[in-house]
A and B are shown apart, each in its own frame.
Chain A
Amino acid sequence: MNLPFDPKVLREHQVEWSRRTFLGKSAQALGALALGSLLNPRLLGAGASAAPGPDGRWMGCLPSLHFPPRAKRVIHLYMAGGPSHIDLLDPKPELRRIHGQPFPASFTNGQQLAQLQNTKLIARGSTFNFSRCGLSGQWISDLLPHTQQIADDICVIRSLHTEQINHDPAHAFMNAGSMVKGRPSMGSWLLYGLGAEADDLPGFVVLMSHGPSGGEQPVSARQWSAGFLPGRFQGVQFQSRGMPVHYVGSPDGVCQSTQRQVIDEIARLNGVHEEETLDPEIQTRVAQYELAFKMQTSVPELTDLASEPQSVRDMYGVKEPGDGSFASNCLMARRMAERGVRFIQLYHRGWDQHGNLDTDIKDVCTRVDQASAALVKDLKQRGMLDDTLVLWGGEFGRTPMGQGTGRDHHINAFSAWMAGGGIRGGISWGSTDELGYRYIDDAQQMHVHDLHATMLAAFGIDHERLTYRFQGRDFRLTDVHGKIARGIFA
């Protein structure tokens, strides 16, 4: 028995740790430590408790949540292009009254406009009817008859505003709270903070669908980038048409056990390499190999939409499973949510109606409305809406001024709706002036930063305390802004 205070052991210890050896060893150790922390800031960072769980799984950097959580996952129905709040969620009778007249200059003087800059501004009222819906009497456009049916489950936010007036930077702002490249998107932040429930699927999955023409602006992959966070937190785009993940099957003649041996050996070699270089991205690499192996069985099971009963497919309006439609993606999103994917982002393009708004918006609504509402209903009947936060909205809104037969980009006000995840249904949050031009600056105004802060709060995360040190500074999703809209929670 070598008790620590055994005189013999103590003497050996004293000899080993003479003054000289002590000085020599500490210098080496400090140097190694300093080098290590340079290469991997998390080694000495405040959140270093971010211990990987069993078999190297990331369990999140937060040792515990800051608030009682409400939500466990997000489904973001991303209406890319800028849906017109004037025609969908924010009825403006006064705008309709002055339709065709010059837009009051008191609203627009000195304001930034996109393509309407230096043109004559004419008010353009909505040509669509609005109805009060549900028990709550929420105003929703008749363009969205299915969304009207879930009026009591959703909270319509009318006071959103953003800072970027063109699509790509505005997408970046909505996703990452900054137009600057290299910032992590909110899905990456959530994964970094909480980890994922599933270990056989990525924690952050992106699906893309599009309108009839297919000629919309592309949405760049930087929108789901992990930025300066380790690459394992990046969003993974699945193909919404055909095979969701390419080459997920093993080649002929390779069985799963062979595959397993290959991956184990690569992981071992990667481990050796990591010990030498201390590069955190090697961990990402190892994790991705492991995940890909598991996805060989999980993905075919996930994407087997044919196993859904016909009634469910009809509810979403899925014509053919896996046809790349928004409806098919919504159904897939629900299946991912059931399987523990943390952040699911469904892009639907086709909302950028600079012209032909009246016909085009109708078309895109028919593609989106039924499936969006069906997703909420389906989550609800499964009891998943309580901890699934659904966000429906775009990167900005559209002008109350006409642009020929359409509307231009608009950042001073736009609308979105949220459901589930502890959000109070049947209410509206915030408002705009009588022409829908600018948000009313009251306690219910909601900048994109505030939206982010509120979404993180639904997960029990204080947006001011989810940080990552990069280039000598602690970064947050909400930068130095963000106010939680507490009243939006039930």
Chain B
Amino acid sequence: MDTLPAFLGRLHPLWVHLPIGILVLLGILELVGLASRLPGLSRLPALGPGQRALVLALGALAAAVAALLGWMLARTGDYDQAAVAHHRVLGIAAAGAALAALAVHRLPRVYLPVLAVSLGLLAAAGHAGGSITHGGDFLTARMPAPLAKVLGIAPRQASAKPRDRTFADAAVFADAVQPILRDRCVGCHGPEKSNGGLRLDSWEALSKGGKHGAVLKPGSAGGGMLLSRIDLPRDEKEHMPPRGRPQLSDDELAVLEWWASSGAAPDRALASLDLPPPVEDVLRQRLGGPQPEAPPPRAATLEQARQIARRLGILVRSVSPDGPWIDVTASRAGRAFGDAELARLAPVASAVQWLDVAGTSVSDKGMATVAAMRSLERLHLDGTQVTDEGLRRLGRLRRLTYLNLRGTAVTDAGIAALRGMPRLRSLYVWQTAVTPAAVEELGRQLVDARKISRWNAERDVLGREIDAEHFEGNTGEALRIDPPPASANPTTPSPLPK
């Protein structure tokens, strides 16, 4: 029979509207009755004592039943206990005041004030009850500022202007994730109300988790309970945000999913991360700041690139059937190719995806041209005159995945300048003064530490090796020849042929 109180308790939110309706109606009728005493309004109806007693009795009875149902619901313990206690006091007081009004309804001077108090308590109890399910700032959150000011309600944290950050200087949690949580989750998982013991209004509270433990498993495929609850089908009971509440938009979901599965540290700068392009687009839009540039027109760019290549005696190849992207190989031109020749590529710089100037006389000065190649993915600078100074100019090549610096004069200081290249996965520094420690440090900054499986420091080889997650792992087994079995089986010829 335990389920019966739990079931009846759930009728409380429905039932409470009955006493409210009856008592408020009674209040209105009493006001009309008072008004009928005024000269000229005598045609208005006034309640007789019998009607008043009947309505009051119904209202008080309904209030008492509501309190009883509320008590049953509170016993299930699904709600914030402090808020429930507050509601309970007000609710019982309201029901008690209604009964008191019934008791004194024949004494008009006492009865009317008692009824007024009862209605006041009813309003307060109703608000307290609403706050349990909707959150304490449900009314005030969208309140027009002048009204809130008159009422002396402090502007809520959330309604404050979002941090004035653009994509370039935004941090992962505070600028990308927190605004979404604030709009969609903090109402029920915040300072006023923390359903399930979970608060999502700060990184500290979030990482603490709720009564079912941690909600975020950085780097795991599903991203932890936070995401798995959001990902449930909408009509599922456990789905978050609950049915009837504003749901996450696809864009918001994309950001949260990327964030939960990337395991990115909360204070990392967004700009330093390798964001999937759709997520980056969403964040750029939400945060403002420079939007991604549209690629240059294909046909014109290719034609221009071919003309430049012909004049310089270098090779240019279109590497995409639908984009303007080109692969520029100048390494065969040798020392005759220098900074001045490189600068002639400036008109098509934004289309260059691969650039090979290995073994040419390109130097730091030429890096200004290279820095303008925003789409660059592979860059061969091996055997050039480039130094740390030149590398510092390349810091904003965010798409670079491959950089070859073999046989150049770069040092650890230059390597440190590559931090702004979130996609860099292959860095070649053989025959340079770069130390393994510097490369390792860079790797830690660029890639999640758990993804770095090994640095190959075999002899003086320094190649970065990462993302070994697909490896099944070496179990150290070996397949050894068993000693030939003694000729137990006469049908078997000699064990192993010579």
Contacts A64-B319, A127-B496 given; does A381 touch B430 at CB 8 Å: yes
Q: Contact check, A99 vs B496: say whether CB atoms are below 8 A apart.
A: yes
A63 with B318: in contact, given A137-B472, A137-B474 (CB under 8 Å)? yes
B494 in contact (CB, < 8 A):
yes
> What B residues does A360 contact at CB under 8 A?
none
Given A135-B471, A381-B430, A386-B426, also A100-B317 (CB < 8 A) = no
Is the pair A65, B461 in contact by a Cβ cutoff of 8 Å? Answer: no
Q: Are B475 and A137 in contact (CB under 8 A)?
A: yes
CB distance from B385 to the nearest CB of A (A): 18
Given contacts A65-B318, A135-B453, A380-B461, contact A405 B498 (CB under 8 A): yes
Binds A, one of B138-146, B237-245, B386-394, B477-485: B477-485
Q: Which of A100, A136, A377 touches B461 (beta carbons < 8 Å)?
A: A377
Near B by CB (< 8 A), chain A positions 79-100 give: 91, 93, 96, 99-100
Query: In the complex where A137-B474, A152-B465, A381-B430 touch, is A64 in contact with B496 (Cβ < 8 A)?
Result: no
- The answer, yes or no, to whether B470 is at the interface (CB within 8 Å) is yes
Report B381-409 residues with CB < 8 Å from chain A CB: 382, 402, 404, 406
**A369 to B172, alpha carbons, bound, how many Å?**
49
Alpha-carbon distance between A286 and B237 when the two chains are bound, in angstroms:
78
- Please name the residue on chain B nearest to A98 by beta carbon: B492
Q: How far is the CA of A68 from the CA of B320 in the complex (A)?
A: 6
Are B468 and A460 in contact, CB atoms less than 8 angstroms apart?
A: no
0/1 per residue, A360-373, Cβ < 8 Å to B? Answer: 00000000000000
Return the chain A residue nearest B461 by Cβ.
Answer: A381
Which of B332, B380, B382, B426 contacts A198 (CB under 8 A)? B332
A135-B474, A198-B332 given; A382·B430 CB < 8 A: yes
A residues 123-142 with Cβ under 8 Å of B? 124-125, 127-137, 139
Query: For window 387-439 of chain A, which residues contact chain B by CB distance below 8 Å?
Result: 387, 402, 404-405, 424, 426-427
Given known A-B contacts A101-B492, A127-B481, A129-B481, A64 and B321 have beta carbons under 8 A apart: yes
B310 within 8 Å of A (CB atoms): yes
For B474, the closest partner residue in chain A by CB is A137
Contact call A132/B478, Cβ cutoff below 8 A: yes
Given contacts A129-B479, A386-B426, contact A460 B473 (CB under 8 A): no
Interface residues of B in 193-212 (CB under 8 A from A): none
Q: Is the CB of A129 within 8 A of B478?
A: yes
Q: Among B321, B453, B471, which residue has its beta carbon within 8 angstroms of that of A66?
A: B321
CA distance A487 to B497 in the complex (A): 39
Contact A424 B329 (CB under 8 A): no
Structural contact, A132 and B474, CB atoms closer than 8 A? yes
Place the interface of chain A in its size category: 35 or more
A114-160 contacts to B (CB < 8 Å): 122, 124-125, 127-137, 139, 152
| Cβ 8 A contact of A130, one of B380, B426, B479 | B479
A110 proximal to B (CB < 8 A)? no
**How distant is B126 from chain A, measured CB to nearest CB, in Å?**
62
A69 adjacent to B476 (CB under 8 Å) = no
> For the complex, is B313 an interface residue (Cβ under 8 Å from A)?
yes
Name B's interface SS. loop
Q: Which of B380, B475, B479 has the most CB atoms of chain A within a 10 A radius of its CB?
A: B479
Chain A 47-60 interface mask (CB, 8 Å, partner B; 1/0): 00000011000011
Instruction: Tell me, yes or no, whether A199 is within 8 Å of chain B by CB.
Output: yes
Whether the Cβ atoms of A139 and B406 lie closer than 8 Å is no
Which residues of A are found within 8 Å of B174, using beta-carbon distances?
A: none
Residue B50 interfacial (CB < 8 Å): no
List the B side residues contacting A358 at CB < 8 Å: 497-498
Could you tell me if A382 and B474 are in contact, using CB atoms closer than 8 angstroms? no
Residues of B within 8 A of A251 (CB): none
Of A132, A381, A405, the residue contacting B463 (CB under 8 A) is: A381
Contact present for A383 and B404 (CB under 8 Å): yes
Contact (Cβ within 8 A) B321 A132: no
Answer whether residue B49 sits at the interface, using C-beta atoms and an 8 A cutoff: no
User: In the complex, which residue of chain A has the Cβ closest to the Cβ of B311?
Assistant: A54
Task: Given A382-B406, A382-B428, A383-B426, check contact A100 B481 (CB 8 Å).
Answer: no
Give the shortest distance, in Å, between A434 (CB) and chain B (any CB).
Answer: 13
Q: Are A132 and B476 in contact (CB under 8 A)?
A: yes
How far is A198 from B333 in the complex, measured between Cα atoms in Å?
Answer: 10
Across the interface, which residues of A come within 8 angstroms of B473, CB to CB?
135-137
B465 contacts which chain A residues (CB < 8 A)?
152
- Evaluate whether A427 and B310 lie within 8 angstroms (CB atoms) in the complex, with A64-B319, A135-B453 already known: no
- List CB contacts (< 8 Å) of B314-329 with chain A: 315, 317-321, 327, 329
Q: How far is the CB of A421 from chain B (nearest CB, A)?
A: 13
Is B48 at the interface (CB under 8 A from chain A)?
no
CB atoms of A426 and B378 under 8 A apart? no
**Contact partner, B327, options A69, A127, A424, Cβ 8 Å:** A69
Q: How far is the CA of A152 from the CA of B471 in the complex (A)?
A: 9
Q: A54-B310, A383-B380, A383-B426 are in contact. Are A136 and B332 (CB under 8 A)?
A: no
Give every chain B residue within 8 A of A127 (Cβ-Cβ). 481, 496
**A464 close to B (CB within 8 Å):** no
- Please tell me if the beta carbons of B319 and A65 are within 8 angstroms of each other in the complex: yes
Given contact pairs A54-B313, A99-B496, A380 touches B463 in the complex (Cβ within 8 A):
yes
B468 contacts A65, C-beta separation under 8 Å:
no
- Determine how close the nearest CB of chain A comes to the CB of B375; give it in whole angstroms: 12
User: Could you tell me if A136 and B321 are in contact, using CB atoms closer than 8 angstroms?
Assistant: no
Known: A54-B313, A152-B465. A424 touches B470 (CB 8 A): yes
Q: What is the 8 Å Cβ interface bit string for chain B, positions 405-448, against chain A (1 contact, 0 not)?
A: 01000000000000000000010101000000000000000000
Neighbouring B residues of A216 by C-beta, 8 Å: none
Q: Are A199 and B332 in contact (CB under 8 A)?
A: yes
Contact assessment for B320 and A93 in the assembled complex, using a CB-CB cutoff below 8 Å:
no
- Complex CA–CA separation, A424 to B472 (angstroms): 14
**Are A402 and B477 interface neighbours, CB within 8 A?**
no
Say yes or no: A383 contacts B495, CB within 8 Å: no
Give the chain A neighbours of B380 by CB distance below 8 A: 383
Query: What residue of chain A has the Cβ atom nearest to residue B404's Cβ?
Result: A383
Contact (Cβ within 8 A) B496 A139? no
Indicate if B106 sits at the interface (CB-CB under 8 A): no
16 A-B residue pairs with CB within 8 Å: A54-B310, A63-B318, A64-B302, A64-B317, A69-B327, A122-B493, A127-B481, A130-B478, A131-B478, A137-B472, A152-B468, A377-B461, A381-B406, A381-B461, A383-B402, A460-B319
Interface residues of B (CB under 8 A from A): 302, 310, 313, 315, 317-321, 327, 329, 331-332, 378, 380, 382, 402, 404, 406, 426, 428, 430, 453-454, 461, 463, 465, 468, 470-481, 492-498
A-B CB proximity, top 5 nearest? A383-B428, A64-B318, A137-B474, A383-B404, A130-B479
Given contacts A198-B332, A339-B332, 9 further A-B contacts (CB under 8 A): A54-B310, A64-B319, A100-B494, A100-B496, A127-B481, A135-B473, A194-B317, A383-B402, A386-B378
